[in-house]
Amino acid sequence: MLPDFPKLKKKIQNLNNQSINNRIRMYNGLLNYFRKISIPEGNTFVTIQENGNIKEGNFEKIESNKVSFDPKEIEKMTPEDISSKYDELAKSFAESQSKMIFERIDESAREVGNIFDAQGKKLTFDDILSSLEKIQIDFDESGNYRNLVITVSPDLLELLTKIILESEKIPENKKRFDEMIERKREEWRVRESNRKLVG
C-alpha cells in the first residue's frame, strides 16, 4: 500500500486554490474593487440597499468546462504546463464572473431606474456627466474620490478617452465636473456621518 499524506495534500490543494484565485483576480480586475467576505454556510444572502430596501438572493454557481486535464498526460506535465492550465482555468472563471457581475449590476440598475440610454446617439460629455450624477461616489479621508471605475466596451474606450481628455481643456466642462464631484463629496460626508452615528 502506498503511503498517504493528507496534511501535505491539503496544503498543496490550498496553495493551488490560492494560485488560481489570484489569477482570477488578475484577469478580472473588477473583483479588486469589491470587498471579499467569507460565508461559511447557507445558500441565500440578504442585501440592504441604500434606500433601506431588503433584497434576498441566492448564490450562483460559476463553472468552467473549458479546461480539462488528461490523466494520461498529468505524469508528463511540467510546472510550466500546469501553470498554463491554471491560466486557462482562471481566464475562463474570470470571464464567467464578469458576465454574471454585469448582469446583476444591470438588473439592479434597471430595478431602481438608474439607467442612462443615449438611444444610439454619439456619446457626449453631458452623457458622461449625467451617468456619473446617477451613481454613488466614495471618497478617502483627504476628500479625493476613490474606486471610481468606468467599464466600457473596447469599441467605446477610444471615444470615451477622447471626450474626457478634450473636456479637461474646456473650462466650463471642468467647472461642471468639479461641481458634480463637490456635490458627491457632500453626499459622502452625510453618508459617513450617518453611518458613524448609527455604528
Note the pLDDT tens digit of each residue in 154-195: 888 898 899 989 988 999 999 999 999 999 999 999 988 877
Dihedral, 83, 89, 90, 92 alpha carbons, nearest 10:
150
What is the share, in percent, of the chain residues with pLDDT greater than 70?
Answer: 94
Q: Note whether 115 and 108 are within 8 A (CB).
A: no
Read off the pLDDT of each residue in 95-104 and give the average, rounded to a whole number. Answer: 87
Phi first, then psi: give them for residue 189, nearest 5 degrees: -60, -45
* Separation of alpha carbons 138 and 186, rounded Å: 10
Rg of the chain over Cα atoms, rounded to whole angstroms, equals 23
Number of H helices, E strands in the chain: 6, 4
- What lies within 8 Å, CB to CB, of 92 at 6+ separation is 64, 66, 67
Q: What is the pLDDT of residue 147?
A: 74
